[in-house]
Amino acid sequence: MNSESPEASDFPYLSEDERIEFPDPRKADPRGILCYGANLSPGVLLSAYSQGVFPWFSEGDPLLWWSPNPRFVLFPREIRVSESMRKVLRKGEYRLTLDADFRGVIEACASTPRPGQDGTWITRDMIEGYVRLHELGFAHSVETRKEGVLVGGLYGVSLGRFFCGESMFSRASNASKAALIALAWRLADEGFPVIDSQVRTDHVASMGGRNIPRARYLDLLRQCRDLPGLRGPWNRLLPDFPESEGWRSVVLRRG
């Protein structure tokens, strides 16, 4: 986490109810911090995501909830895939799966060093909170393997036809990009208009991610969150992954 540690008393405090009404996301401070407190139980996490709020804090900090403006998103049908990345995908050295090792992915995201960061914001409590969401069918992972070894991937939360990306990791060149591209192509086919990336990263920006006003983000969330969703193990609900229109046109193209 790269923000200055705030004083918790500067923000509204949340109780630890299972389902929670968060403050109006538009009342977040200029950094995007909205409130603090509560816990990482499934009910609280689902309440947060359904209202456009997400947790982000470092070990030892209060549990902070964020709603930044602008919001960084990726529209799946607009994802940019470079020619060099197309060649990587066509080589077939990576095997891509869904929900095959959620815990392995989130723990790798927590432990993989990142440039400019001396620690991780994915605490042990956060890992267990999202694993529980995964067990309930709301959190999902994409795994990238090379020769049977997990070398990249990502995880996030799905509500209706809305996907909130949380983190990704890569231990081999382009491994996390392969995961994101395959997921975006398939989510486009499944009627997911947007992937929430929360705050800007150069990695996702290079693939077409962009900032949009928070008001537009909240409108998109309201439109998508109550649509019929894909709750449950995605490796069973989408057994032919990474098959998709994009996969067929780019990876399986011949000549």
pLDDT, tens digit (0-9, with 9 covering 90-100), for 108-121: 999 986 654 544 67
- The set of residues, in sequence order, having a beta carbon less than 8 Å from that of 168 and lying 6+ positions away, is 109, 152, 153, 154, 155, 176, 179, 180, 203
Residue 65 CA: distances (Å) to CA of 14, 89, 97, 201, 226: 10, 37, 31, 19, 22
Highest mean predicted confidence (pLDDT) among 6-10, 91-95, 121-125 = 91-95
Go through 140-179 and write b for each residue having 16 or more CB atoms within 10 A of its CB, e for each that does not. bbbbbbbeeebbbbbbbbbbbbbbbbbbbbbebebbbbbb
pLDDT tier for residue 186 given thresholds of 50, 70 and 90: very high
Q: Does 72-250 carry CATH code 3.40.630.70?
A: yes
Mind listing the pLDDT tens digit for each residue in 188-240?
Answer: 999 999 999 999 999 999 999 999 999 999 999 999 998 999 999 999 999 99
The residue ranges of every structural domain in the chain are 8-68, 72-250
In the block, which residue shows the tokens 């000549």?
Answer: 255
Q: Is residue 78 scored above 90 in pLDDT?
A: yes
Residue 100 has pLDDT above 80, yes or no: yes
Q: Do domains 8-68 and 72-250 have the same CATH topology?
A: no
pLDDT of residue 185: 98
Q: How confident is the model at residue 58 (pLDDT cuts 50, 70, 90)?
A: confident
Encode 126-177 in three state secondary structure. Answer: HHHHHHHHHHCCCEEEEEEEECCEEEEEEEEEEECCEEEEEEEEECCCCHHH
SS3 content of the chain, % helix, strand, coil (to 5): 35, 20, 45
For position 8, what pLDDT does the model report? Answer: 45
Q: With a cut of 50, say whether residue 49 has pLDDT above it.
A: yes
Q: Is 113 exposed, middle or buried (0-12, 13-18, 19+ CB in 10 A)?
A: exposed
Q: What is the pLDDT of residue 61?
A: 83
pLDDT of amino acid 59: 80
pTM passes above 0.95: no
**Mean pLDDT of all residues in 68-78:** 97
Class of domain 8-68: alpha beta
- Say what the pLDDT of residue 105 is: 98
Name the residue among 89, 90, 12 with its Cα closest to residue 53: 12
Q: Does the pLDDT value for residue 17 go beyond 60? A: no
Query: What's the chain's average pLDDT?
Result: 89
Question: In whole angstroms, how far apart are CA 75 and each of 45, 188, 205, 209, 212?
Answer: 23, 8, 11, 7, 11
How far apart are alpha carbons 35 and 64 in whole angstroms?
6
